[in-house]
Structure 1
Amino acid sequence: MAPMLPHTSATLCDPGKLSLELEKVRKQGFAVDDEEYIPGIIALAVPVRDGDGKVVASISAQAPTGRLRIEQAMEFLPQMKQAAESMAQTVDW
């Protein structure tokens, strides 16, 4: 496997650390990007699952770090999860 190249100083490039982060994402049901891809941008994402529980899409939100901190963005998670559930029920996957 080729080495992963960082996009920013916060990018997870160590395979072991990335595996741990992905397990954390699976357990908590959402993902956080704290300037890992674009400097000065944070993001949250939640999965949209089909009737079998398979992830078929996602809903994400991004913001500049100068306007919103991760802690503030986390307040939107309940609405994002509700939107994902509504989308899953509306679309015939």
Structure 2
Amino acid sequence: MGLDISIYNKDGTSTDVSEISENLHYWLFNLAHLDKGRFRTIFRVQDYYLTDVELSGTELVSFINELKEIGKKSPYGKEIEHIVNCINTTNISKIRITGD
């Protein structure tokens, strides 16, 4: 089971759910050799079991941009693209990412 991404609209209502799969999470933090200083927002979800992160505003934009950049060189590009498409709409106010 991956990290759950709860997606909230501007009214604060949960509208959708997506997921960062366990395999993608492992690749991001063990195989991708990401620069922690460059991908600060992504690293907020590094702890697989204790992740409980809420992102909105500029942090959400940063998260989306980091995912897009990582997706260009990732073997999980399709999964990353799906996540970005789910969370990158004008009606989204925030997302909450939680672990197991």
| Bigger relative contact order, structure 1 or 2 (CA pairs below 8 A, ≥6 apart) | 2
- Whether these two folds match at TM > 0.5 is no
Give the structure-1-normalised TM-score. 0.30
Kindly name which structure, 1 or 2, has the bigger radius of gyration based on alpha carbons: 1
Give the structure-2-normalised TM-score. 0.29
